[in-house]
Amino acid sequence: MSVFYTATDHFVLLPALLLALFGCATLLFDFWVFPDPKQRRWLLMFLVLGELFAAVAYWRQFDFLSSHGGELTAFNGALVVDHYSLFFHSIFLVTTLIVGLMSYRYMEVRDEHHGEYYGLLMLAQTGMFFLASGYELVTIFIGLETMAVTFYVLVGFLRSDKRSNEAALKYLLLGGLSSGFLAYGFSLLYGLAGSTKLVDIGRMAASRDANDPILLMALGTTAVGLLFKISAAPFHMWAPDAYEGAPTAITAFLAVGSKAASFALLLRLMVGPLGAARVAWEPILVAAAVLSIIIGNLAAVTQTNTKRLLAYSGINHAGYILLGIVAGNPTGIKGVLIYLLVYTFMTLGAFAVLIALTRKGLAGEDINDLNGLMKKAPGYGIAMLIFLVSLAGIPPTGGFFGKYYIFLSLIETGHYSLAVFAALFVAVSVYYYFRLIRAVFVDTEEQETPALSTSFGLKVGLGITGVMTLVLGMYPEPFLRLAQLSISR
């Protein structure tokens, strides 16, 4: 208590500081240095540079943890850096970078290329930082809101597009509601523990009867707030609309970054401090997982808009990842981490292809817009094939190992019926993913359309995601080690 801001505090907080700094700098430079819209692509360099600096800071933290072991806490235990949070920080970093890279051409095509866009991306990432590293309720909540508010703005970024505005408003209203739930849950937890620190809450949960109604209520409301953020059913209603209306790059960011960050928190809360109250939260998560898999899969079958379809597929994936938390043993937690890693690459990649399909005067969001892609641009066609096969969970792509780990953990913990249920719905999901594959490979274009809107950044993003999706499927060993390291204390 004697020192307000120690060297450790600084060391732990540095990446977030850098991101916020570069984010704000981007906002300013947009006005002062690059008033000409054509020069705005240079602002992407700010993002790349900021991520680079953040990466160095993360690397030093990783180095420190490797040599000293354990974890680093800062601000009297409000922030913590361990391998677990670093795993998520790297996911956020890669996600933000790739989203930035694949954005500029899209925003130019949609005539909404503004400098603050890149700043907001970095600010959202700053919020995610606190979700993965926060170890105190208020810190976590502020991080969550930082992320959420930037996303409200980003979803509505296409100012002249009605759907984008509608999506932002819907997301804002429902997001506000869920934040309210979460705040309510947090306040109950605080009331029970007499402290906002997760350490104390853990102690409280361990000492209390798990069937205590107040604890149940605290858990329930907290879970609802977080289930909303990961777009798990029955709190998924915002997702299809927000995904459809948002700029495609932001849809990808929302689908991957926001979801991964919320999972980082959910997993940390449920398995860590609230692990003692497992009997209370397990039924909630099981119900949400089962509903997500059913609703996500069945609703996806009838979609005609690719972004909506991917939204429902995202709901379905959230269900599978939740099952990993339900299993809750080391295998299950590793499964959640691996699944999220694979999900990051395959989802970003699939959206990158959709971005390339968005051309002047052509939204490219209908499934039919994928028709004949293989003939038109074989590289994009094959990339899309890899992502879709991976989303469906078929080897030799990364998606298989994500699902594999979930099944593994379910069987290990004796959840046989859940395993059978989850396995059967894989077959359902194949149906709609292969509808997209069919459009790409079998169907033909009805009329000539302009060339795809590609850019260097987009190709880099596609390359990274495509290669990573395959590498995770063919040689997952290094990543499994990383996941193992992340869960070891």
Partner 1 sequence: MQEHLLSIILFTPLVGVLVLMFLPRSQKTLVRLWANISAAAGLLVSIPLIVNFNRNADGMQFVERMEWIPSLGVQYLIGVDGISVLMVMLTTIMGFLAIFSSWDAVKDREKEYYAMFLIQQTGMIGVFISMDFLLFYVFWEMVLVPMYFIIGVWGGPRKLYAAIKFFLYTLAGGVMMLLGILTLYFVHFGQTGRYTFEIAELMKLNMPLGLQQWVFWAFFLGFAVKVPMFPFHTWLPDAHTEAPTAGSVILAAVLLKMGTYGFLRFSLPLLPKASSDHTIVTVLATLSIIGILYGAFVSLMQKDWKKLVAYSSVSHLGFCTLGIFALNQAGIAGSVIQQINHGISTGMLFLVVGVIYERRHTREISEYGGLAHVMPNYAIVFAIAMLSSAGLPLLNGFVGEFTILQGAFDANKTWAAFAVLGVIFGAAYLLWLYQRTMLGEVTNEKNKGLPDLNWREWAVFLPLIIWAISIGVYPKPYFDILEKPVAQIVHRVHQTANTEAAIR
**How many CB atoms within 10 Å of residue 270?**
24
Dihedral class, residue 194 (left if φ above 0, else alpha if ψ from -120 to 50, else beta): left
Q: What residues between 291 and 350 interact with partner 1 by CB under 8 A? A: none
Q: What residues between 356 and 385 interact with partner 1 by CB under 8 A? A: 374
φ, ψ of residue 305 in degrees (nearest 5): -100, 125
Q: Residue 5 or residue 416: which is nearer to partner 1 going by CB?
A: 416
Q: What residues between 384 and 443 interact with partner 1 by CB under 8 A? A: 389, 394-396, 400, 404, 407-408, 411-412, 416, 419-420, 423-424, 426-427, 430-431, 434, 437-438, 441-442
C-alpha distance across the termini of the chain, in Å: 26
* Site membership for partner 1, residue 477 (CB under 8 A): yes
φ, ψ of residue 285 in degrees (nearest 5): -70, -35
Q: Residue 138 or residue 442: which is nearer to partner 1 going by CB?
A: 442
- Spatial neighbors of 288 by CB under 8 A, at least 6 apart, are 223, 227, 232, 233, 234, 235, 319, 322
- Spatial neighbors of 371 by CB under 8 A, at least 6 apart, are 439, 440, 443, 444, 445, 446
Helix (H) or strand (E) holding 483: helix 477-487
Residue 303 beta carbon to partner 1: minimum distance, rounded to whole angstroms:
16
Residue 284 beta carbon to partner 1: minimum distance, rounded to whole angstroms:
25
**Closest by CA position to 91, among listed 466, 314, 339, 344:** 344
What DSSP string runs through 272-293? TGGGGGHHHHHHHHHHHHHHHH
Residue 312 beta carbon to partner 1: minimum distance, rounded to whole angstroms:
18
Q: By rule CB under 8 A, what count of residues binds partner 1?
A: 31
Residue 279 beta carbon to partner 1: minimum distance, rounded to whole angstroms:
24
Q: Residue 159 or residue 481: which is nearer to partner 1 going by CB?
A: 481
Q: Residue 226 or residue 346: which is nearer to partner 1 going by CB?
A: 346
Q: Residue 138 or residue 424: which is nearer to partner 1 going by CB?
A: 424
**Closest by CA position to 306, among listed 371, 377, 260, 228:** 371
Cα–Cα distance for residue pair 365/372, rounded to 1 Å: 14
Residue 425 beta carbon to partner 1: minimum distance, rounded to whole angstroms:
9
Place of tokens 């594959």: 437
Q: Residue 280 or residue 385: which is nearer to partner 1 going by CB?
A: 385
* Site membership for partner 1, residue 36 (CB under 8 A): no
Residue 438 beta carbon to partner 1: minimum distance, rounded to whole angstroms:
6
Q: Residue 152 or residue 434: which is nearer to partner 1 going by CB?
A: 434
Site mask for partner 1 (CB under 8 A), range 6-35, x = bound:
------------------------------
Q: Which residues make up the interface to partner 1 (CB under 8 A)?
A: 374, 389, 394-396, 400, 404, 407-408, 411-412, 416, 419-420, 423-424, 426-427, 430-431, 434, 437-438, 441-442, 475-477, 480-481, 484
